[in-house]
Amino acid sequence: MWPVSARWDAALRGAARPAARATIHPPQGDPFPARLLSWSVTADRTAQVRRTCAVTLAPETPRGLTGVTVQGGYLQLDVGLDYLDGTAELIPQGFFRLDAEDAERPGGGIALQGYGREKVVADDAFLRPRTEANSSGLDLIEQLLLESVPGAVVVRRTTRDAPISRTTWEKDRWSAIDGDDASIARALGVEVWADGRGRFVIGPVPTLSDPPVWTVDSGTRGVLVTARTSTSTAGVYNTVVAVGDASNGARPVGPVIVQDLVATSPTRATGPFGRRVRHYSSPLLRTTGQADAAARSLLSNSLGLTEGLAFTAVPNPALEPGDVVLLAPQGQAPSLHIIDKISLSSSGAMSCDTRSTRPDDGST
């Protein structure tokens, strides 16, 4: 959750009104504010590009290389609360590269589509097969990011690191960073994304061992509007088998097997749910410790997907994907959930898709 003041939560539940600000960053000239007519933002930690936006600006907004343009232009969107006392608190929702522009004439607004900075990195594919090795996986992730976005801020929210053995990636830069089983992030057991300010963040995979950041409750001064549960076994596995595939000539590692062994877990590998196996192979796994860490992160990201919950609530722009919230409908037992996807807009309630997951307790 983005840091907020002490008055934030009470204002969400009481006397405050929504506020939003758009700042255009043109390829030539200084940033300038633009009048917003409407906006929507989706933040989804299961997508390669975590943040996307659709914004309509007032027709008088300057256009071209010193204004709104898809030729290297960006938009910073901040959303928050007007406290009705002459002050406001705004939370960054994304630093978006503008990739689509549509203007209605005469007198219509300027409709824009924007994408988070992961899109910049993903579009910057390697010109030829890329071979790298580094004593620090975190350093190599940062190097690959900064090659595409020079001067970007990279925030490390994890100390989980390991050497990266000599490995070759063919074309896709983002797949080398955090896109598939051969990615550095997958081998380290971390995630990489661009936050609301456009900074790149390297952080741990969230689990329910993280403290809840917000209570989504109903009743007097509550924020919950609706809640819907769903059950599915799609994409669920309770056993991960990790190996270092040694395609780079290194000594083979593994197999390392990590399982859901919690006695009370309905998806435990030894229970009626049955064993459902995910094989994970990467040339970046050089030790059993690395393989174990990567396997545990994969397992944590799967467990609980059988119990999904979607809710709508009073908009809270400070929430971020990966946050743990405590859902407390009136008359029901409270439950913890990890937010995977958040949708906010200038009209209507906030919608969130969540799941219940927890860290694994052991391996065999």
257 with 285, same domain: the answer is yes
- Which residues lie across from 39 on neighbouring strands? 55
Task: Dump pLDDT digits (tens) for 259-315.
Answer: 888 887 777 888 888 888 888 887 777 788 888 888 887 887 676 655 678 889 999
35 with 137, same domain: the answer is no
275 with 187, same domain: the answer is no
Long-range contacts of 103-106 (CB under 8 A, 24+ apart): 103/59, 103/63
**Domain end residue (candidates: 249, 280, 298):** 298
| Cα 150 to Cα 97: distance, rounded to the nearest angstrom | 15
Six-digit token string for 23: 């700042």
Q: Quick one: pLDDT at residue 64?
A: 93
Contact 69, 61 (CB under 8 A): no
Whether residue 2 is contained in a domain is answered as: no
Whether residue 85 is contained in a domain is answered as: yes
142 with 179, same domain: the answer is yes
127 with 194, same domain: the answer is yes
Whether residue 332 is contained in a domain is answered as: yes
- Asked if the peptide bond before residue 106 counts as cis, ω within 30 degrees of 0, the response is yes
139 with 266, same domain: the answer is no
Name the domain count of the chain.
Answer: 4
Rounded to two decimals, what is the model's pTM? 0.83
Domain of residue 53, CATH code: 2.40.10
Q: Quick one: pLDDT at residue 95?
A: 98
Mark the ranges of the chain whose per-residue pLDDT is less than 70.
Answer: 105-107, 232, 234, 246-250, 301, 303-307, 356-364
**Domain end residue (candidates: 116, 142, 162):** 116
Task: Dump pLDDT digits (tens) for 172-218.
Answer: 999 999 977 788 998 888 999 999 999 999 999 888 788 999 999 88
Structural domain containing residue 260? 239-298
Q: Quick one: pLDDT at residue 108?
A: 78
Q: Which residue has the tokens 């088998």?
A: 241
Q: Quick one: pLDDT at residue 364?
A: 37
- What is the radius of gyration, based on Cα positions, of the chain? 22
Half-sphere exposure of 315 (CA within 13 A, CB side): 23
Q: Quick one: pLDDT at residue 354?
A: 86
Whether residue 76 is contained in a domain is answered as: yes
Q: Which residue has the tokens 């204004």?
A: 67
Q: Quick one: pLDDT at residue 361?
A: 35
220 with 243, same domain: the answer is no
